[in-house]
Amino acid sequence: MKKPLCVLTIAGSDSGAGAGVQADARAIHALGGYALTAVTAVTAQDTRGIAAWRAVEPDLIVAQIAAALGDFAVGAIKTGLLPGAAAVRAVAKELGRHKRLPPLVVDPVVASTSGEGFLPFAGVKALRHELLPLARLVTPNWPEAEILSGWPVRTDAEAEAAAHRILKSGVGAVLVKGGHGGGDTCRDCLLVAGGEVQWFSSPRIDTKNTHGTGCVLSAGIATGLARGLKVPAAVEQARELLLRSLKQNRRQVWGAGRGPAFPG
């Protein structure tokens, strides 16, 4: 019998379903995968922002990961919101126990789009030194790339420089996303260890429905890696999914704030 294409997302839960495990699951399913989830935090949020949130205890996060990896044929893993250094270390320790770890994509969620902080300095340090060396790819946006690299990122050239610095953490590849840049074109910078820089460009979509774009992209990449795609091909496929979602959904009114980048 054919086994399902399982992808494990280790991330927070969004009550508005715009980001987190809900957005991850939609992206994974849109690309033909089956989403397994390990919830790291519970948030009360809508299109306007986060009203409240609570972290899940590290031992319960680990138990969820162990349950998924112990019974399902997981083809890839992605992490999103990891609430603090203890959570990062617990996840890294649990994943590091596996000699044949599936491809890991790290979406380094330091704060929400509305500005809610999740990962303080100690957590960033643990992510950089303990989790990134296990990862096939890390997907920071410009502000996250600044934090991970210690390098200011305001231009494409600075994004490329930051990617080189982040690669020194031992991660397999770095995708610095250009959504925070200006202009009519969004440019993402991909640097794979031992390879040349590759740029991905697409038109910037005029829409307020951008909540969860990073989740959709990283979950889509993880699904491509689970299928056996190389990192550049997985990135291209996930970017196409995100672009299609933004185009199809750009006039939808979800609420008073920023709606989800709904992949369909």
Segment 105-118, tens digit of pLDDT:
999 998 766 566 78
Active site residue 189: no
Q: What is the residue-wise DSSP string for 84-140? A: SHHHHHHHHHHHHT-TTPPPEEE----B-TT--B---HHHHHHIIIIIGGG-SEE--
Cα 227–chain centre separation: 18
Q: How far apart are the first and last CA of the chain?
A: 28
Share of the chain above pLDDT 70, in %: 97
Complete domains list, the chain, with CATH: 6-248 (3.40.1190.20)
Active-site choice (6, 186, 189, 215): 215
Range in 160-174, 177-191, 227-241 the model is least confident about = 177-191
Question: Can you tell me the distance from the alpha carbon of 65 to that of 101, in angstroms, rounded to the nearest whole number?
Answer: 12
Catalytic residue among 213, 220, 224, 259: 213
CB atoms inside a 10 Å sphere around CB 154: 12
Return the CA Rg of the chain.
17
pTM of the model: 0.96
Residue 113 designated active-site? no
Q: Name the residue among 10, 96, 41, 16 with its Cα closest to residue 257.
A: 16
Which of 12, 16, 212, 220 is the catalytic position?
Answer: 212
Distance between CA atoms of 27 and 134, rounded to whole angstroms?
23
Q: Kindly give, in sequence order, each residue whose CB lies less than 8 Å from that of residue 74, ignoring residues fewer than 6 positions away.
A: 6, 7, 8, 36, 68, 102, 226
pLDDT tens string 204-254: 999 999 999 999 999 999 999 999 999 999 999 999 999 999 998 888 888
Across the range 9-13, mean pLDDT stands at 98
Catalytic position from the list 177, 181, 186, 220? 177
- The strand pair at 185-192 and 197-203 is best described as antiparallel
